[in-house]
Structure 1
Amino acid sequence: MILVRAENIKSNTWLASLSRGDYGIGMTFVHLAIAFLLAAINYFFLGRLGNGSIWVGYFVIAIMVFYGIYVANIGMGFWRLARKLSEVKTFLLRFLAAVCVMVGISAIFNGLALVFTLLAA
């Protein structure tokens, strides 16, 4: 499963556990730091996309789509973890969760746009 929509779905994959919030707030923030690292790698490889290397293009697309799925699951995990906190922390964590989900969905669509760009070239 790419995205876990309900908490009662008990999949044993690490991505589903991340989406359910099973790792806790601290470990989910570690995953967010890893996602920032993936975004930096993607940003640096995106400049090499115009060099004519198809393999670099495929690599950038793969990172971008994986990054989108990963960040969306991080956001869903933050959203589910926010229930256990005080009101101010809940608001801030839910805001961060919403931003993560929007960035993840945007990255998936950007990856699809790159696929169509490479197919048209």
Structure 2
Amino acid sequence: MSEYSKEQHEVLDLLKKAPGKRPQFFDTGGVDHLLTMIMELSSQLWIVKEKLYLHGEILCELDPDLKQKLKHWQPSPDQSIELEQMRTRMINNLFRSVTSNEPVNDNASDTDDPVPPGT
């Protein structure tokens, strides 16, 4: 399931392939790049939040006590360690392009995703 319709994908493809320079809004091009990155991350975060909300609503319909269980959930020591490792990898991946000359692995977060693929 894609968040865009076929027509939207066609428009996005056209925009990506449009000739000419990308618009620059700030004196320093890096600021424009950072702003673009933030906007992209924000749109992706919204998609995840929307899916998480949907999954929560569906699960709570199946188990009315689930909201209370989730509200009071605490990770086990092993889960806390795993979550901290995932958080550290995410932060390292986020800042890799700034802190090293290594190419950024676009697929690095795929294995760190706590939500199974396709959900």
TM-score, normalised to structure 2, is 0.31
Larger helix proportion of the pair: 1
Q: Which has the higher contact order (CA 8 A, sep 6+)?
A: 1
TM-score, normalised to structure 1, is 0.31
